[in-house]
Amino acid sequence: MTKAMTPTVSAPATAEKQKFRLARYQDLALVPVIILLLIIGAILSPIFLTPNNLIAVLTQQSELSLLVLGQAMILIVGKMDLSLESTVGLAPALAVALIIPSSAGGLDVGFAAWLALPLCLLIGVAIGGLNGFLILKVGLSGFMVTLGMLTMLRGLQLAITEGKSLIDVPESFLYLGSTTWLGLPAAVWICIVCYAAGIFVLKYLRAGRSLYAIGGNSEAARAAGIRVDRVVWTVLIIGSVLAVIAGILMTGRLGSVAATQGEGMIFQVFAAAVIGGISLQGGKGTLFGALSGVLMLGLVEQILRLQGVSGFYIKASYGAVIILALIVTRFATGQKQE
Amino acid sequence: MTEFASVGGADNVAAAARGVTKTFGRTLALDDVGIEIRAGESHALVGRNGAGKSTLVSILTGMQTPDAGEVSFFGEPAPPVADSAAWRRHVACVYQKSTVVPELSVAENLFINRQDLGGGLISWKKLRREASSLLETYDVAVDPDSLVSTLTVEQRQLVEIARALSIGSRFVILDEPTAQLDGPAIERLFDRMRSLQDKGVTFLFISHHLQEVYEVCQTVTVYRDARHIVTAPVAEMSKPDLIEAMTGEAGGLNVPSGDDRPSSAEEVLTVSALSGDHFSDISLSATKGEVIGLAGSASSGKHEFAETVYGLRKPSSGSISVDGASVRGGDVPAALKAGIGCVPRDRHHQGLVLDLSIAENATMSTAGAFVWPSAQRSAGSTAIASYDVKAAGPDQPVSDLSGGNQQKVVMARALAGDPSVLVLINPTAGVDVKSKESLLGVVDAQARRGKAAIVVSDELDDLRVCDRVLVLFHGQVVREFARGWRDQELIAAIEGMSSE
């Protein structure tokens, strides 16, 4: 049935206004939860509120947060990309392999070392572009295409590296993964810049607003003159490029490309996005909300770690925490998750 | 197959609601209303959008519990809301939106959730046989093996009605059943209603087309602003009285005829030899201030033609130009840029993003590269004021609005870029009398400002605004009517009986 109803004469306009004001701040719903977690952490551990610890949390979450940023935009536009986690591994592995000699596990192509970063980004564009082509032009199911890509890209990385870690990592990667600017790690700065840009674009640019229109009702978006396929394709490419950047930062931080780099991350990516209020049905949620989802998961993880939860239990407790976080979010925002 | 004979005399009440009140949050949806539907009659429920019709339907079908008041069927109190099976034996509802599963067969849909026919294991052969005999009983010419997704709207409704009757319900609610049907299909539906009525089936009929109420119903109940206004035999209620009861104002529908609109020789829109999906070789030109109506049955190709002009569909040949400049076919942004605005066929499907605000929907086609929330909000407020949208403010999501107000937001979006050509497809579909007046007033006002408009519609009220009406049949223009056409003449042409 429709929602068409008559407002009562007694319902004053101010009540309506209050409701809307509240709705406008819905993406701040997780902020009290984050503050609560900071307080709990501080009570449980004296070092929790020290800058070093908080910076450590931010650094650990920086790679996940970039994936969440990409996935959140893809979800808002009404699609999903499961292959992001494999892109995190494959792009740096392939770029490095194209540079280093076969003696170090490379492909003996011998590209110059300065090409590492541009190559990496180009691989991201290609993967996102291919996903977009298969989904939009060939008309395949986005879920299945990216599930296939998830497996294929991971397999490709194993084939190239024969399952070994690549340790001969270019300078540029190491620099980005380890340097600090103004007291904060470069990785954290990159995240801040990416999120600030994303939040701005999705709020203040027509192109950004079109993501919500497409995810909310793609037919209406088309009838309003939005070039739906072009926008979706661009968003898929941006998502892959963000995954590549996450991969570069991870490679630089660890000093090598492991064969399993990024494996299993997609689960946390979806969890953080949904906790942050992004709807899996498209058209709803904000990037600030997604970011607070990432921070919330990071703080919980750090609390568990500082409490010395045994390595055997940490995975189970992490899964439990995600479900708990979903429950908390469900009631903090008062909305059912789809 | 069902024993309708058990229905008693004419004063037997099939369904009744008394003293029903229902609120949603701060919104009062029904205020101490009642309705009494006598067995064997077709009872019309009319009212403007927001009058409380949908809420009453959801209470009569057990989807919602009233805050106060009671519902009864044949004198017995209604079952508790949790017992949906019991409700389905008392009452069935055919909604505008389908309640069948499209990817299952007709047979399975007819016996959904009772496919085993009481046997525990599903016998597909038996199911098919039962389905055929059920369809035969109600004279529904549909293959029980076909998928429901392949049926027409008309066939789908018949399947839903047959299913309702087979469960044993003798009271059927039809919620705007004619909204998506063309003329002959509506007549067939009415014939069927009459014959089922003879067998003792009771109908509650909801429609925005008052003419249909006179055609098929015996009693009419009017709701307005969540209150019961009047219940009377249809024969004793004149059309102006009915409209007055619905709107609370005297007088009939006040549609601007535009007789005195100034005409101009300056051509704005030129369509030459355009062919595309379901239409071929149509040429027309519109001058400044001219409103052209396109009428025809659902399969006439009128919608496809209009959608092609706006770029939603690709033409196979022919050309479109605005102010002498040719417009790329199949490209909505190009059409917008050339100065064509459009109200698409179905506001839920193509017109609006329901979760977004009024302001955002109204500016969707015209926003610059940068979107400043304050500018957007003020554009939204302007739209609310200029198109008479009843809303709390520009930030309100359009999903909160009634149908008529949603349609005004779609109109605002179409006009936001100040286009020189308007393509309006079913501009007043599913909106109440007041909103219809206001929307058609906008069309007239825009024409007076020198815009050309194409109005695609089945509703004679919409076509009265037009300077001329073209009738399409099987993808071609077969008749043209100048102002002053007679209703019968035009309807005959639409139904394809114009050759005499």
User: Residue A185: inside a domain, yes or no?
Assistant: yes
Of B342, B371, B395, the CB nearest to A205: B371
DSSP calls for B62-100? TSS--SEEEEEETTEEPPPTT-HHHHHHH-EEE-SS--S
Model confidence band, residue B4 (pLDDT cutoffs 50, 70, 90): very low
User: Residue A219: inside a domain, yes or no?
Assistant: yes
Model confidence band, residue A16 (pLDDT cutoffs 50, 70, 90): very low
d(CA B403, CA B429): 9
**Residue contact A6–B226, C-beta within 8 A:** yes
Q: Tell me if residue A260 falls in helix, strand or coil.
A: coil
Q: Where are the domains of chain B?
A: 4-247, 267-494
**Residue contact B403–A5, C-beta within 8 A:** no
**Residue contact B351–A220, C-beta within 8 A:** yes
Q: How many angstroms away from the CA of A281 is the closest CA of chain B?
A: 12
Model confidence band, residue A8 (pLDDT cutoffs 50, 70, 90): very low
Q: How many angstroms away from the CA of B447 is the closest CA of chain A?
A: 22
- Out of 3.40.50.300, 1.20.120.640, 1.20.1370.20, 1.10.1740.10, select the CATH number for domain B4-247: 3.40.50.300
User: Residue A267: inside a domain, yes or no?
Assistant: no
Three-class SS string for B371-399? CCHHHHHHHHHHHHHHCCCCCCCCCCEHH
Residue A195 corresponds to which tokens in the numbers above? 């999120």
Instruction: Pick the closest to residue B495 from B295, B305, B345, B268 (CA basis).
Output: B295
Name the closest residue on chain A to residue B369, using Cα atoms. A206
**Residue contact B55–A5, C-beta within 8 A:** yes
**Mean pLDDT value across chain B:** 87
Q: How many domains does chain A have?
A: 1
pLDDT digits (tens, 9 = 90+) for B202-259: 999 998 777 888 999 999 999 988 899 999 999 998 887 887 787 776 555 677 777 7
Mean pLDDT is lowest, of A4-13, B19-28, B94-103, for A4-13
**Residues 194-233 (A) with a CB less than 8 A from some CB of B:** 203-209, 212-213, 216-217, 219-227
User: Residue A143: inside a domain, yes or no?
Assistant: yes
> What residues form DSSP beta bridges with B342?
B423
A215 CB contacts (<8 Å, ≥6 apart)? Answer: A75, A76, A77, A78, A281, A282, A283, A284
Half-sphere exposure of A188 (CA within 13 A, CB side): 16
ipTM value of the model? 0.74
Q: How many angstroms away from the CA of A200 is the closest CA of chain B?
A: 10
Of B24, B332, B353, the CB nearest to A225: B332
Model confidence band, residue B496 (pLDDT cutoffs 50, 70, 90): low
Q: Which ranges of B272-386 does DSSP label H, i.e. alpha helix?
A: 302-309, 332-338, 358-362, 373-386
Residue-level pLDDT at A58: 93
- Which residues does chain A have within 8 Å of residue B370's beta carbon, measured at their own beta carbons? 204-206
**Residues 23-42 (A) with a CB less than 8 A from some CB of B:** 23-24
Model confidence band, residue A25 (pLDDT cutoffs 50, 70, 90): low
- Which residues does chain A have within 8 Å of residue B342's beta carbon, measured at their own beta carbons? 223
pLDDT over threshold 60, residue A3: no
Residue-level pLDDT at B251: 53
Residue-level pLDDT at B11: 54
- Out of 3.40.50.2300, 1.10.3720.10, 3.40.50.300, 3.10.450.230, select the CATH number for domain B267-494: 3.40.50.300
Residue-level pLDDT at A329: 72
> What residues form DSSP beta bridges with B42?
B203
Q: Tell me if residue B271 falls in helix, strand or coil.
A: strand
pLDDT digits (tens, 9 = 90+) for B370-397: 888 888 999 999 999 999 888 888 999 9
pLDDT digits (tens, 9 = 90+) for A119-150: 999 999 999 999 999 999 999 999 999 999 99
**Residue contact B395–A24, C-beta within 8 A:** yes
Residue-level pLDDT at A24: 54
User: Residue A239: inside a domain, yes or no?
Assistant: yes
Domain that holds residue A228: 50-262
d(CA A83, CA A236): 11
User: Residue A168: inside a domain, yes or no?
Assistant: yes
Of B26, B354, B370, the CB nearest to A11: B26
pLDDT digits (tens, 9 = 90+) for A50-63: 999 999 999 989 99
